[in-house]
Amino acid sequence: MSTVNSAQEAVNTVADQAILAALQQTFAVGGAIINNATGEVIVAMHNNVLMPFLGNTTYFLPHDPTAHGERQLVDWYYENVAALNLPTPSQLTIVTTLDPCAMCAGSLLTAGFNVAVSAIDTYAGINYNSQFNFPSLPPQIRQQAQNSWAYYAIAAPVSRPYQGSMRPVFGGQGIDSSAYYLTASIFDASVNTVREASNNSGLDPSHLKNPATLPANSPVRKALTKLSPYALTVCSLNPRDPGAELAPPLLQTAQKAAQKTEVFNSVALLDPFGNLLVCLGGVENESPIKTAFMETTRSYAVMRWTLMNDPDPAVRAEAEQYLTHPKYGTFVFLYAPDPTTPQAVMTFGAYGSTMEGPVPLSYPSNLQYVLLPGNTTPQALSTLAQNLPPFYTQSVQVAPAQVLSQDLINAVKKGV
Ligand SMILES: [Zn+2]
């Protein structure tokens, strides 16, 4: 890979990635991991939320709502750190064209990278108010961000002063107005169409068919069962009000995950018929940001995209007719995220990116948990959700709620 010698060169490099993302018709954001000591560009990536559909260059379908540039860079780092003998995250900087969203900010802070940013995102960015006080982060984590993040200075005519820590690569430096303008305007030009494509894919529940009626050899049933052995084995009478039937899959999945990760958690996704579609634990032994929710939402989205992108039109039709958009489903966490951690910001952010817009039929909520971790209170969890950047509070309206069923709570308590 190349080496860069200034903030300007670093931002030019990630801006090239944002252009590739724009050409792919996904969110036009790019980033790179750069070695603080040498300026080496270790890897550069761009957003991959939307991917071309059947090689068609005019129709793009949500592929993975978590495939933001920065989140992918964090997972790439953990996949390659041993083989490439990479420095620690504190010796590296993720340079990005756009202020990270809640999911990416939580990912970057979990891993401990330095971060340097070109453009501000006043709607979904973690520094949406440009004050560098990070009101969306748990109070314990704000100082960490202030110590390791920076927003490069921008020369006239934009004339933005340098903001933040000197630790990121090329700390204290600035970029010219045209590089800044490119990174800001290319994102602005992409954001609304990508959000709409992400939020509007999939049939309304009144037109959806029930996957529990599919035969054993159907492509959708086989794909679901491959993801999770509990797929379509459990059905809740009311998809927004799961009962004790959900306890065994949640507990058994968490037990299995904990054998590898020592993290006892799982997340289930129910469809509008109440069917359990997917129930997964985390893979934190591979990467600390591969939590149960990240795995569940990503695996379901990629599986749905793969089937809807199948060369066989019958497979595509079945996926379209039987697999719900997650906004009509219900996510049920065994344990809610701990609101004092950056993973909680990441989790609520990833949920926001999964919805990409308002949630229909929102009562009681499609973001539910059975138990709270440690000394957490429902208020602490709600406060974290209510402090998120405007996209999450005004558009998605992230509102975690405990499941209503005392039977489910009791059944889970017996098993933990
Ligand atoms: Zn992001």
Same domain, 210 and 259: yes
Q: Which of 199, 232, 251 is the endpoint of a domain?
A: 199
> 26 C-alpha to center of ligand 1: Å?
12
pTM for the structure as a whole: 0.96
Sheet holding 30-35, edge to edge: 41-46, 30-35, 92-98, 114-119, 149-151, 163-164
Q: Is residue 2 part of a domain?
A: no
> 123 C-alpha to center of ligand 1: Å?
12
> 223 C-alpha to center of ligand 1: Å?
28
> 323 C-alpha to center of ligand 1: Å?
25
pLDDT digits (tens, 9 = 90+) for 297-322: 999 999 999 998 898 999 999 999 99
Q: Residue 381 is inside which H or E element, if any? A: helix 378-386
**Among the listed residues 54, 69, 62, the one whose alpha carbon sits nearest the alpha carbon of residue 108:** 69
CA distance 416 to 410: 10
Q: Is residue 254 part of a domain?
A: yes
Find the mean pLDDT for residues 128-143.
97
CA distance 329 to 322: 12
The share of the chain scoring above pLDDT 90, in percent, equals 89
> 414 C-alpha to center of ligand 1: Å?
37
Same domain, 129 and 210: no
Find the mean pLDDT for residues 239-261.
97
Same domain, 254 and 109: no
pLDDT recorded at residue 56: 65
> 268 C-alpha to center of ligand 1: Å?
23
**Among the listed residues 254, 255, 262, 245, the one whose alpha carbon sits nearest the alpha carbon of residue 295:** 254
Same domain, 99 and 136: yes
Find the mean pLDDT for residues 334-338.
98
Backbone angles phi, psi at 58, to 5 degrees: -115, -15
> 305 C-alpha to center of ligand 1: Å?
20
Find the mean pLDDT for residues 204-211.
95
Same domain, 398 and 263: yes
Same domain, 285 and 169: no
> 388 C-alpha to center of ligand 1: Å?
13
Q: Is residue 376 part of a domain?
A: yes
Domains held by the chain: number: 2
pLDDT digits (tens, 9 = 90+) for 41-63: 999 999 999 887 766 655 667 78
Same domain, 64 and 146: yes
Whether residue 221 is predicted with pLDDT greater than 80 in this model: the reply is yes
Same domain, 257 and 381: yes
Average pLDDT in the chain = 95
Range of the domain at 53: 7-199
Cβ–Cβ under 8 Å, residues 44 and 11: no
pLDDT recorded at residue 365: 82
> 175 C-alpha to center of ligand 1: Å?
22
Q: Is residue 1 part of a domain?
A: no
